[in-house]
Structures are given as C-alpha cells and as structure tokens.
Amino acid sequence: MSTALQEPEVQETPNYLNAEYGWKSWLFTKDHKRIAVLYLISISVMFALGGVFAMLIRLELLTPQGDLVNSDTYNKFFTMHGVTMIFFFLIPSIPATLGNFFVPMMIGAKDLAFPRINLLSWYIYIAGALFALAAIVMGGVDTGWTFYTPFSTTYSNTFVITAAVGVFIAGFSSILTGLNFIVTIHKMRAPGMTWGRLPLFVWANYATSLIQVLGTPVVAITLALVALERAFHIGIFDPAIGGDPILFQHMFWFYSHPAVYIMILPGMGVISELITCFSRKGVFGYSFIAGSSLGIAIIGFLVWGHHMFVTGMSMYAGLYFSLLTMLVAVPSAIKVFNWTATMFRGSISYETPMLYAFGFIGLFTIGGLTGLFLGTLGLDVHLTDTYFVVAHFHYVMVGGMVVAYLGGLHFWWPKITGKMYPEGWGKFSALLVFAGFNLTFFPQFIAGYLGQPRRYHAYAPEFQVLNVMSTAGASVLGLGFIIPLIYFLWSLKYGKKAGNNPWGAKGLEWETTSPPPTYNFETTPIVTEEAYAYAKHEEAHVG
C-alpha cells in the first residue's frame, strides 16, 4: 500500500498524538491522555501475563491427577495469576486508563490537577510491576494472592518479600491517582459543571478514589508487616513467635474487600455512560445511581469479616458482617434497576459497546446474587474456599469489570485514537466473551456446591466433567480477548476516521475533536444542562 507511506498525519488536525514525537515525548509527558495510553499498554501486558497463567491453570485442571506440572508450580501459577490480575490489572484498569483519559475531559478540564504526580504514579506502577515480574522470573511465589499468614511469613520458601514489595509500591500509584482525581473533580470542573451535572462515570471514579485513598494504606502496612515478620522474625502474625494469624486476615480484608469496589465501581460508571448513549435517553434516577456509588464506598468498608466466617470469629461478629453484606447489595441492586428503567421508552441501538453493557448487566447480576449466597452465614460455611467462591468473584471481576472495561474501550476508542474498529468483529468478539465466560465459570458454581475446594492442584475424579467444561470455555474466552487486541491494533492504521462524535453521545468529551487536542478544548466549555440531556439537543438549537 503505497498510499500509507504518504504521511497522512500531515493533514490531521493537531491532537495529543501528533503534538510531539519520539519516546521522550511519551516518557516525560504530562498530558493525562498520553499517561492514560502508557497505562493502557502496561496493564494490557499484565493482563496478557495473568491470562497466560489462567490458561496454564485451566490446562492443568483438564485432568484430575495433577499431571501437567508439579504441585509447587501449580501453586505458583494461581498465585501469580491472582497477583498480576488483581494488583496490576483490575485495580488500575479503568481509573488509570479510561478514568485518566476522560475524567478531566468530562468535567471540561485541561488536565488532571497534578499532571506531574499523574506521571509519577505511572512510574510507581511500573516499579511495582517490575518487582512482581522479578518475583516471577526468580522463581515465583506460592502463597496465593491473599498472602495468608503464617504460611507467607514463615513456611513459604518462595519470593514472598519481592512480590509483597511490588504490591506495596503499586499501592502508592493507586493512592496518588485517587488523590489526583479527588482534587481534580473538586477544583477543576468547568463553569456550570455542578455536582448534580457530573457524568455518572465521574461520580463512580470519585467514589473509587475515596476508597483508594482511605483503604490502600492499610494493605500497604499489612504487607510491610508480612515482609518484616518474614525478614526479621518480629512476632506479629505467627503464633510460634507470639503473633496471631487472624489479625492478618482482619487487616488484609479491611482493604481487600473495599478493593473489590475499587475494581467494580468504575465499571458501573462506564455502564451508566453506555446505557444512556445507546438508549439515547437521560438516565433514570441520576441521584440514586450517583449516591449508590458513595453508599457502596462507605458500606464497603464495614463488611470485611464476611471473608472470615469459618475462622472462629465471634458468631455475633458474624451476624453483623452478614447483615451489612446484605445491606451493601442494595446500592448495587439500585444501579441495575435504574439502568433497566433507563431503557424504558428509549431508542435502543445495538453497537458493540451496548452488547458489552447487556453482558455486564447479566453477568454482574449473577455475580451479585451469588454474593448473597456467600453472605448468608450458614451457607457460607459450606461454600467458602470452594469453587463457588471462584465462580462468584470471576462473575463480578471478569463478567463485571473486564466486560465493562472492554465496553468502555470500544465506546471511547474512536475518541482516543480517532479511528473506528470493525463493528462486525467487535460484535462477534463480544458474543465470544459472553459465551466463553459463562461456559468457563458457570460449571464452577456446581463444582463448588459439590465441594471441590479451590487452589487444588489435583482433585477428586467426580469433578472432572465440570472442569473440562471450564477449560473449554476458557479457550473461547481467551479468543474473545485476543480478537479485539488484533482489530484495535489494525484500526490504528486502517480504521475509518471516527469523527468527533460517532455515537451521537452527550458529554463534553464528544464536543472536542477526535483525537482530542493536547489541552482537550479550544476554549473552556460552559455547561448549561444536566448530564445525558439527549432530548434537550433539539431545544438547544431552537433556543
């Protein structure tokens, strides 16, 4: 193709991608959009790495004997799968990429409040990821992503400290991003962009930022204590030297349960944007969706003990944690009902992002409902630490968060790159993800109720049929993730020009060019209407 050599950039309008060239212009950038792209590349690498571990796990579990790798290697596979996916993909995923790119644009700001700190947070993330990679390359970690004591502090012979340091460092990246968002949303909204007019994606990122800032220090302290006990035998968690292993679990889950909401709230924010755009209709119950994000952020801090119902915790504490777990389900239910009501009398179209939104509602609803099974005390006694739990949190984390992330990526890809991806392939891979996901994880609910424990390298032969289904599904799911990677890269060169607003969406980010200029807007926008004012579009022209 000789036409491709004609440097089409020459004709393009100035934008953040062609403003500067060379690797220095990327590695020293202070533009939130470029930093978002840096994050996008890095978390994609970590997602691929975590995905490779997932496939190795599923291959091993094809047969009950544990014959592909030895048990130590298997234990390292699921640990590294969990550590890379949770700390280096899911937690940064939407806030650091789509949030970083679009929170400032959606509120009409030129950038985040602290552009240098934003770049710093990416470098901190990379430093943390390098420690995690070093732990893998040196020989791996076998504690499970939960680092339970005293196994992690005294008994494991693997690179626990290296991995813990990696997670510790990455935590600061999360804290800084959260801080940056909070200050930006408070101080840098365009004239007229009141709190009541904020897009729901911004509200979701705001709630997420609160958890990041308040919760992450606790897990950092906890992992630092693990490293200290391991290195210097200070008796904190190991009972043989005067500690208490249950203390670790309280501290760990005090962060790691809210962390679940760090992972899912931004996804919910994306879904609010997708449902309104592809229903071409203002959102139903704006204040309830926005408020429920804050409700989840607050109540989410009070339910950590539901991970510990069989540890010998006081049964009265169990009552409290179970009741609050039921309560935290209410704001999530409110969101699902309001999204459904938004579609009522809408004008619904079925582009790829909307397919992901449908998928999200279906999978997240199942993930949420199965959370109630686990929040129910007497039932959790049987289900905890079985494949039921594995299925449940994958329905929330993958069926919810990853599907929302893919939906958001397809929705904003034209804005980020200025190019369209092939719609047919988009729809096809969205269906693959949905089908593959269900085939992978639904059988695990059944295996879990049958009693198959999680983190088993070899398992009882009667569980094999369900495990073969899971592995088959994982292959389909993997394909569903690889296809978008290919066509997104393809679209950078061959994709059709997107135009400023290919979906006819509302929101300030769609009023500027695609890709946006370095400072986002030619002139600071002035906001005169509520979010998602699709019907007002006509009136605005008339008046």
Partner 1 sequence: MSFPLWPEAASALATDVDHLYIYISLVSVVMCILIFGVIFIFAVKYRRRSDSEVPEPIHGSLRLEITWSIIPFLVMLTFFWWGAKIYFYNAVPPPNAMDVYVVAKQWMWKLQYPGGQREINELHVPIGQPVKLTLASEDVIHSFFIPALRIKHDVVPGHYDTMWFNANKPGRYHLFCAEYCGTEHSGMVGWVTVMTPADYQNWLAGGGQSGTMAQLGERMFEQLGCSGCHLENGKGRGPSLRGVYGSRVQLADGESIQADDAYLRESILNPNAKLAAGYRPGLMPSFQGQVTEEGILQLIVYIKSLAVATTPGAPTARIPSLLQTPTLQRVSVARLATQPNGGTQ
Of residues 319 through 358, those in contact with partner 1 by CB under 8 A are: 319, 322-323, 326-327, 329-330, 333-334, 336-338, 340-341, 343-350, 358
Please choose, out of 38-46, 87-95, 274-282, 399-407, the segment that lies near partner 1 by the rule CB under 8 A: 274-282
Structure tokens at 451: 């009693």
Q: Is 194 in the site for partner 1 (CB under 8 A)?
A: no
Residue showing tokens 């208490």? 244
The interface with partner 1 within residues 275-304 (CB under 8 A) comprises 279-282, 284-288
Q: Is residue 452 within 8 Å of residue 387, measured between CB atoms?
A: yes
- Tell me how far apart the alpha carbons of residues 510 and 497 are, in angstroms, rounded to a whole number: 15
Site for partner 1 in 58-87 (CB under 8 A): 66, 71-72, 75
Quick one: 392 or 410, whose CB is closer to partner 1?
Answer: 392
Q: Which residues within the stretch 240-259 sit at the binding site for partner 1 (CB under 8 A)?
A: 240, 244-246
Q: Sort 170 into a burial class: Cβ within 10 Å, 0-12 / 13-18 / 19+.
A: buried
Per DSSP, helices labelled H in 63-114 are 71-85, 93-94, 100-106
Task: Kindly state the smallest distance separating residue 69's Cβ from partner 1, in Å.
Answer: 12
At its nearest, how many Å lie between partner 1 and the CB of residue 349?
4
* Interatomic CA distance for residues 27 and 139, integer angstroms: 30
Which residue stretch of 44-52, 215-223, 263-271, 461-469 sits at the interface with partner 1 (rule: CB under 8 A)? 461-469
**Non-local CB neighbours of 494 within 8 Å, separated by 6+ positions:** none
Distance of closest approach, residue 84 Cβ to partner 1, in angstroms: 18
Compare residues 37 and 357 and give the one whose CB is closer to partner 1.
357
Concatenated DSSP letters for 305-329?
A: GGG-TTTT--HHHHHHHHHHHHHHH
Q: Which residues of 105-130 are buried (b: 16+ CB within 10 A; e: fewer)?
A: bbbbbbbbbbbebbbbbbebbeebbe
Residue closer to partner 1 by CB (options 333, 431) is 333
Selected binder of partner 1 within 263, 380, 429, 481 (CB under 8 A): 380
Of these, 382, 420, 502, 511, which contacts partner 1 (CB under 8 A)?
382
Pick out residues in 6-35 that bind partner 1 (CB under 8 A): none
Residue 150 as a binder of partner 1 (CB under 8 A): the answer is yes
* Stretch in the footprint of partner 1 (CB under 8 A) among 10-18, 159-167, 367-375, 511-519: 367-375
Q: Which of 84, 208, 256, 386 binds partner 1 (CB under 8 A)?
A: 386
Site residue total, partner 1 (CB under 8 A): 100
Side chain identity, residue 334: I
> Is 259:215 a contact under the CB 8 Å cutoff?
yes
Beta bridge partners of 497: 419
Segment 152 to 171, residues that bind partner 1, using CB under 8 A: 154-156
